[in-house]
Structure 1
Amino acid sequence: MLRRGLRLCRLLCALRVCGCVRVGSLFCVACTYYVAAVVLLLCRLSPVSGEMAVMSRGCTREFRGTQDPVEAHAWLKELEKAFALTNVGDNQKVEYAKYFLKGESNYWWESAKALEATEVITWDKFKRMFLDKYFPRYMQTQMEMKFFELKQDNMTVREYEKKFTELSRFMGEYVDSEEKREKRFQQGLKPWLRSRVASFELTTYAEVV
């Protein structure tokens, strides 16, 4: 929209519509104010809101469907961070989210929405529907099993910590405090290293890592 406004400004100055005298490549004051008003009007007339514009400029990527539950979960988390950044209200989140559904995921949404025609789809409802499709319960169970079976074994502490962090994203209540996170992390360390860490009586995950 700004580019459209600047093009209009250049045209006005070139045609001397405003009766100004342009110095170098600068626009006159009259044209500058005029263009500011035009840009503001274009923003108001645009179907994409200010919040959506911010999200579209890189805060949120399109989602076209995937068989990778990690990717689907990450997209949903990314979307929620964008909502927090732009102060999007709960009553607008579903409308904004569906804007970023493209291709296969949009076909899924249209079909799923039709089945819920008599019910208002809240943001929590949308998340449940989305996860049921792209991160179903049996996949979540698999992730939980991988998390609880995770051991350091032949990994370095840094490699183990990276894998632990990756899987802990899906664990919710199991790692929802520093104490729980720290205890679970220690349990997966090599026995001799776990004993040494325990001797320091560390109480937070950050201290252990």
Structure 2
Amino acid sequence: MDLERQNRPPVDKIWKHGAEVFCANKDDDPERVEFWLENTIRVFDELSCTAEECLKYIISLLRDSSYYWLKMLVSVVPHRKVIWEFFQEEFRKTYICERFMDQKRKEFLDLKQGCLTVTEYEKKFIRLSKYAWEYVSSEAKMCRRLEDRLNKDIRLSMGVLELKEFVYSLIGPIKMRN
């Protein structure tokens, strides 16, 4: 794929849905970079873009060193391998370092309700769960982990409402979002 000659689609429709330009280098805040990628993926999903369209749009969003990074990557990788999933994987490797992912995973593994409200705890649990997918890969595992980390007094005071029903009521919206 020649980035200079790439048949780029009109980008105004992705701007209208909240896509942003990405100018970065390896020293950028990984959380900001991850947010940019997730937001971009969300925009592409909203527009029902094909994988090929996603790749074309992403080229239009990259600037400066990130554009040159992709240009270099495309020059050394066989054309058939340069697909949307490949881009995401390589982008994460380059701009969202492994150490960041490990820190977030540890933060999830150490997460307990503590002084958080149940809602705050749930939000944090949901946000961090993607870093430790093997611990929440099924609804049962997710519920068990969420339940085990709730404050003891909350678990004990839930005699009227079956705890499992309570936990599933928290998890239900998560499943619909994924």
**Structure 1 residue 140 and structure 2 residue 95: aligned?**
no
Aligned to 2:45: 84
Q: Identify the match of residue 207 of structure 1 among 157, 166, 169.
A: 169
Looking at structure 1, the residues matched to 85 and 158 of structure 2 have their Cα atoms a distance apart, in angstroms, of 40
Looking at structure 1, the residues matched to 75 and 167 of structure 2 have their Cα atoms a distance apart, in angstroms, of 45
- Could you tell me whether the CA contact under 8 Å between 1:179 and 1:203 is conserved in 2? no
- Could you tell me whether the CA contact under 8 Å between 1:179 and 1:204 is conserved in 2? no
Looking at structure 2, the residues matched to 97 and 151 of structure 1 have their Cα atoms a distance apart, in angstroms, of 38
Looking at structure 2, the residues matched to 204 and 84 of structure 1 have their Cα atoms a distance apart, in angstroms, of 31
| Structure 1: runs of 5+ lacking an equivalent | 1-46
Q: Deviations over 1:56-83 (max 9, x none)?
A: 2243111222622222222222222222
Aligned to 1:69: 30
Q: Deviations over 1:169-188 (max 9, x none)?
A: 43334334433332222222
Scaled by the length of structure 1, the TM-score of the pair is 0.64
Looking at structure 1, the residues matched to 61 and 166 of structure 2 have their Cα atoms a distance apart, in angstroms, of 38
**Mean Cα deviation higher: 169-178 or 74-83:** 169-178
Q: The residue matched to 1:59 in structure 2 has which SS? A: coil
- Could you tell me whether the CA contact under 8 Å between 2:23 and 2:66 is conserved in 1? yes
Residue type of the partner of 1:140? M
Q: Deviations over 1:121-177 (max 9, x none)?
A: 011111110000122333212211110101122223233223223212433343344
- Could you tell me whether the CA contact under 8 Å between 2:21 and 2:61 is conserved in 1? yes
Q: The residue matched to 2:81 in structure 1 has which SS? A: coil
Residue type of the partner of 1:53? D
Q: Give the number of aligned pairs.
A: 162
Aligned-CA RMSD value: 2.7
Determine what percentage of the aligned residue pairs are the same residue.
Answer: 24
**Mean Cα deviation higher: 128-137 or 78-87:** 78-87
Q: The residue matched to 2:164 in structure 1 has which SS? A: coil
Aligned to 1:21: none
Aligned to 1:107: 68
Aligned to 2:4: none
